[in-house]
Structure 1
Amino acid sequence: MDHPAELSDKTQCDLTHDKRSHPWFPRCLSIEEGGIERVTDEERQQNTTKFWNAATFWFSANMAVATLNIGSLGGSLGLGFWDCFIVILVVNLTSDLLPAWTATFGLTGLRMTTFSRYSFGYWGNMLVVIFSMIATTGWNAINSISGASVLNALSNGKFPTWAGVIVICTLVWVICALGITWIHRLDAFLWIPPLVVWCVAAGTGASSFTSEASQALEGSNKAAAVLTYMASIFSFSVSWVNCAADYNVRMPPETPHWKIFSATYVGIFVPTVLVQSLGAAMYSGTITNAAWKEAYSSSSIGGLLEMALEPVGGFGKFLMVLAALSAIPNNIPNNYSFALHAQNLGPCAIRVPRIVLVTFGFVVAVIIGCCAAKYFDDTLQTLLSVIGYWTVIHITVVVEEHFLFRRGWKAYDFDAWNNPTALPFGWAAIGAFAFGFLGAALGMKVAWYAGPIASLIGIKGANIGHEITFAFSGLVFPVFRWLEKRYGGQ
């Protein structure tokens, strides 16, 4: 007799027709019907995801034009290519460990925002929910703008950026509405077309690349530029922390943690380093070629990509379309996880169908994306910083709770994920959150504000908000958590 996990998709579809409790239409099309409810071991025996999907999912998400855009930020700060490359390599080697570790939390059957209840508390976790929703919506908009800028450059400005945002967000919405099964099916292959684009662009644009810097930075001014660029690269990587677990909840329960960790790390590290390095190299073309500089001024990263692919003529235009569409898998984690974040807002929110929340996230992202397109550069750097500060607090609290207070997986009662009386209230995490953002305010450097400590480095200041945020939240949480356990009972 065949094992249920080995039955064909058609057979499984036929078997579900007789289940009156579930409509046959979503089942036949493998449309996800559930929400944040914990996926039990028994459910994962029948509808499993392969561990290599943890790699291909992130290959597709990071092999994107937004990753290219992040890489180009170093040149705009005045850094040369080799300075950018060293920052990209070193920061990704370390920061990519964080989402790779949180990706293993999916083996509990819980999504990341729900799992955070064990450290932030049931009510304190509302901070995680709200900021995760802001982060995913912001990234949804920003990544769409990156793809839309390519379509804008391709049309010589005739296809407005806001229209590109609508097209990209709509396609993302369709895939996210279908759910996790379709996401993994498509992401197994969606990384291949943009990889071809980046390989061709690297070859055809290489003659315009240079290792020279756009500005002659020295001493504290160069240190400030390096620190600010490090903050951007770090923020891009750790932004996946808030949702990495969401895509592994259907892995077989016996899957080793090291497999998920390794697959996720490779899936994030390899494409991110390659594409960000290409972005840094492409920006250097603005130093050697006036046409490249003009293209960047008019269409941002899309203009640079157009210049790099110009030697291959009409084929280059086709490749630009593929590059623009790379924003789709890049945005899938944002739109899909937005709905899961929102369902953690309380007892009423969990009753709202996932498709409704996915649609709401899509609408908000379109509105923000269309408005933010006009001020893209400042919006990008500011969003990267703010998301990075909040994510540092999130991962710091989760790490300290896991290793200092839980001391391993056996101390968690995973059936208590929706029981406020069996979870902390969250006073300790709320306190750590407040102190963490105090540190961010002292060390942050964005387009409209420079903190007092950040202003001490170089003429323009340096973004050291992440380091101070980590220090403040990391020092106070163990103290507050000890008091919470002693006097609060959980």
Structure 2
Amino acid sequence: MAPSPAHSYEDNEKNTGPQGSAPDSEASPDDVLVNRFGFMGPALAKLFASGVEARGVERVPEDQRENKNMWNNLLMWWSVNTVLTTLPIGVLAQEFFTLTLPHAIATIFCFAALGATATSFVATLGPQTGLRTMVITRYSSGYVGCTIFSVLNILTQLGFSVTAVILGGQTLASINPGTLPLVAGVVIVGLASLIPCFIGYNMVHHYERYAWMIIFIVMLFLLGLGGLAGFDINAQKQFEDKGKAFSSDILSFGGIVFGSVAGWAPVAADYNCRLPVNTPPIKIFLLTFFGLFIPIAFVETVGALLMTITNEAYTDAFTDGGTGGLLSQVLSPWKGGGKFVLFLLAFSVVGNNIPNTYSAALSIQALGRPFAKIPRFFWTLVIFTTYTVAGVAGREHFAEILSNFLAILSYWTAFFIVILFEEHFLFRRPGGRLGGYNLADWDTPSRLPLGIAGVLAGCFGVAGAVVGMAEVWYIGPLGVKAGAKSGADLGFELAAGFTAVTFPIFRYLEIRYMGR
């Protein structure tokens, strides 16, 4: 079968009506949902009129875009990552991997930059397509691949949310030990995260535009009070591994750092798909990159620094209460003021949890038309309930959940990013095999790829992760050879490599014989 004619952005304007929108896109999403739900329509109309976002995974046509300040893109990611949840990642460098502070910082900077680069590329696709991230995958992996990626992303965002509510709950409970049960702290933080996500896109951006300011100052307080207690940059030197064991620590911790940044890639386009189509991609890339890299590198470094305090009161506080207990001890010289700062830190996780909840709901809609027919805000409630229950169940195992979750997260996001990247630059570029995206086809399975190439390449990515991973419960054969007895985690590197080699081959054959 010969390939179908290539479509570019300009072609869409000719073929699908003004501004490249599909013929049925002129109706507002509010009206479409109101009409879809029959007797529930009047109630939904009032809800949407009150400010709750009606649009879900539906494409945003060019004539419905909002020409807002692009700096919001930087500030949003800055707020999302200048939070309490980012601190424990830096803590893991000494807690699990015995790295000295200089080596921990070097690893954080290198792998955070790599993850930010990957995520920033995905972010550039939002204004170009007007689509949410999971729906964009339909152009490389079809409906089937989109469904698989959506399931993985739902699990990813739930994992982020569980760690956020547990840490926030731990911190709230540590303010006045014995007065607030940890279960209650988890539920309180979860509820605080729900409100902006329920309302939708504009409320999410409004909250995240300002949330970083107070917490950035709080992080500076932690640095000052930690310095008062005494940082010892050589504290871990006598325990640091040597030789292959040292490289194992670097690679394994680096995979966790990469996962903490690249974990935002599957949602990166969700928050700028309403920007005008002519928004320069390089601006989106740079604003997203610095919005991710600077706060993540800074806050994770603060976490690593706090672990160099050797005062017995501080080490005991960490042993007894984890990261929340350590922070409580660091802020203890301020007494009541320190407890107020701890309260602010506990609720900072709301800024991190908002995109998790919002995008997980969108990913459920991306599973297919039956799910998309149910309003986004309903799925937000389902996600909230799920991660709150999971947070309560796993509240005593925060460090284990965090380290294992972030490592595994880096595996699938690595091959996911590679597939989007190669589809965009090899097959969708001007002059490429397909020459662009026919954006009117975003929900037409018969005109999208079958998904054979994306699914097969993803399977090879899984194989790469399996042979290269190094977890407590499994070490792959290449992971064993690369490190000491505990192995070196090469999971995300091999997942990306295996996919990068196989996807272009499979995709070329798919286009040649299927025509799409």
Is the TM-score greater than 0.5?
yes
Which residue is 1:273 aligned to? 297
Match of 1:51 in 2: 70
Q: Quick check: 340-349 or 248-257, which moved more?
A: 248-257
1:474 aligns with 2:500: yes
Deviation at 1:83, TM superposition (A): 0.8
Instruction: Please identify, of 92-101 and 125-134, the stretch whose mean Cα deviation from structure 2 is larger.
Output: 92-101
- After superposition, what is the alpha-carbon deviation per residue over 1:72-125, rounded to whole angstroms, capped at 9, x for unaligned? 110111011111111111222222011111111110210000011101112222
Which residue identity does 1:271 align to in structure 2? P
Query: 34-43 vs 399-408, which deviates more?
Result: 399-408
1:62 counterpart residue number: 81
CA offset at residue 172 of structure 1?
Answer: 1.0
Aligned-partner Cα distance in 1 for 2:424–2:125: 11
Aligned residues: 469
Find the residue that maps to 1:449 and give its secondary structure: coil
Quote how far apart the aligned CAs of 1:324 are.
0.6
The answer as to 2:90 corresponding to 1:71 is yes
Could you say if the C-alpha distance between residues 404 and 364 of structure 1 is closer, same or farther in structure 2, counting changes exceeding 3 Å?
same
Cα deviation per residue 1:258-298 (whole Å; 9 max; x = unaligned)? 2222211111111111101000001112xx12221211122
**Is the contact made by 2:133 and 2:270 (CA closer than 8 Å) also made in structure 1?**
yes
Matched to 1:142, the amino acid is: T
Show the counterpart of 2:16. Answer: none
Aligned-residue offset at 1:36: 0.7
Match of 1:420 in 2: 445
Q: Does residue 448 of structure 2 align to residue 442 of structure 1?
A: no
Q: 1:329: which partner in 2? A: 351
Q: Which segment drifts farther, 443-452 or 104-113?
A: 443-452
C-alpha distance in structure 2 between counterparts of 1:420 and 1:24, whole Å: 30
Counterpart of 1:303?
325
Q: Give the Cα separation in 1 of the matches to 2:207 and 2:399.
A: 31
User: Which has the higher mean CA deviation after the structures are superposed, 139-148 or 238-247?
Assistant: 139-148
CA distance in 2, matches of 1:25, 1:191: 32
Rounded Cα–Cα distance in structure 2 between residues aligned with 1:92 and 1:134: 22
- Equivalent residue number for residue 218 of structure 1: 242
**Structure 2 residue 458 is matched with structure 1 residue 433:** yes
Letter in 2 for 1:141: V
Contact 2:231 2:305 (8 Å CA) reproduced: yes
Question: Is 1:485 equivalent to 2:506 in the alignment?
Answer: no
Q: Name 1:232's counterpart in structure 2.
A: 256
Letter in 1 for 2:86: T
2:395 pairs with 1:373: yes
Distance 2:178 2:264 in 1: 32
Q: Structure 2: how far apart are the matches of 1:302 and 1:110?
A: 38
Shift of 1:312: 1.7
- Structure 2 matches for 1:376-387, cutoff 5 A? 376-387=398-409
- CA–CA separation in structure 1 for the residues paired with 2:240 and 2:135: 48
Give runs of aligned pairs for residues 458-469 of structure 1, distance below 5 A. 458-469=484-495
Q: What do residues 340-394 of structure 1 show as CA deviations (whole Å, max 9, x unaligned)?
A: 1111111211101111111111111111111222222221111112211010110
Q: Which moved more, 1:194-203 or 1:477-486?
A: 477-486
CA distance in 2, matches of 1:332, 1:273: 21
| Offset at residue 157 of structure 1 (A) | 4.7
What's the CA shift for 1:254?
Answer: 3.0
Is the 2:172–2:346 Cα contact (8 Å) retained in structure 1?
yes
Taking the aligned partners of 1:479 and 1:66, their CA distance within structure 2 comes to 40
Question: How far apart are the structure 1 equivalents of 2:332 and 2:189?
Answer: 24
The 2-side partners of 1:450 and 1:371 are apart by 27
Q: In the aligned structure 2, how far is the partner of 1:436 from the partner of 1:162?
A: 38
Letter in 2 for 1:127: I
Q: In 2, Cα distance between the equivalents of 1:141 and 1:161? A: 13
Q: What amino acid sits opposite 2:386 in the alignment? A: V
Q: How far apart are the structure 1 equivalents of 2:263 and 2:353?
A: 12
C-alpha distance in structure 1 between counterparts of 2:100 and 2:170, whole Å: 24
Structure 2: distance between partners of 1:145 and 1:428: 39
C-alpha distance in structure 2 between counterparts of 1:275 and 1:260, whole Å: 23
Q: Map residues 48-447 of structure 1 onto 2, 5 A cutoff.
A: 48-76=67-95, 77-107=97-127, 108-206=129-227, 207-214=229-236, 215-285=239-309, 288-408=310-430, 411-447=436-472
- The unaligned stretches of length 5 or more in structure 2 are 1-29, 36-41
RMSD between superposed Cα atoms in Å: 1.9
CA contact (8 A) 1:36 1:350 kept: yes
Letter of the 2:82 counterpart: M
- Give the superposition deviation at 1:423: 0.6
User: Unaligned regions of 5+ residues in structure 1, if any?
Assistant: 1-15
Change (3 A) 1:212 1:399: same
Distance apart, 1:435 and its partner CA? 1.2
Cα separation, partners in 2 of 1:213 and 1:224, compared to 1, 3 Å: farther
| SS at structure 1 position matched to 2:477 | coil
CA contact (8 A) 1:31 1:181 kept: no
Give the share of equivalent positions with the same residue, in percent. 32
CA contact (8 A) 2:114 2:258 kept: no
Amino acid in structure 1 at the alignment position of 2:77: W
Closer, same or farther in 2 for the Cα pair 1:424/1:181, shift >3 Å?
A: same
Deviation at 1:25, TM superposition (A): 4.1
* 148-157 or 323-332: bigger deviation: 148-157
Does the CA-based 8 Å contact 2:73-2:272 persist in structure 1? yes
User: Whole-Å Cα distance in 1 between the matches of residues 486 and 180 of structure 2?
Assistant: 36
8 A contact 1:103–1:261 mirrored in 2? yes
**SS of 1:348's equivalent?**
helix
Q: 33-42 vs 158-167, which deviates more?
A: 158-167
**Kept after mapping to 2: 8 A contact 1:295/1:307:** yes
Using the TM superposition, give the Cα deviation of residue 302 of structure 1 relative to its aligned residue in structure 2, in angstroms.
0.9
Q: Secondary structure at the match of 1:395?
A: helix
Q: Distance in 1 between matches of 2:422 and 2:394?
A: 36
User: What is residue 5 of structure 1 aligned with on the other side?
Assistant: none
Q: Aligned AA for 2:343?
A: V
Please, what TM-score do these two structures have when normalized by structure 2?
Answer: 0.87
Residues 205 and 307 of structure 1 are in contact (CA less than 8 Å); yes or no, is this contact kept in structure 2? no
8 A Cα contact 1:392 1:466, kept in partner: yes
Using the TM superposition, give the Cα deviation of residue 305 of structure 1 relative to its aligned residue in structure 2, in angstroms.
1.1
Preserved contact between residue 197 and residue 320 of structure 1 (Cα < 8 Å): no
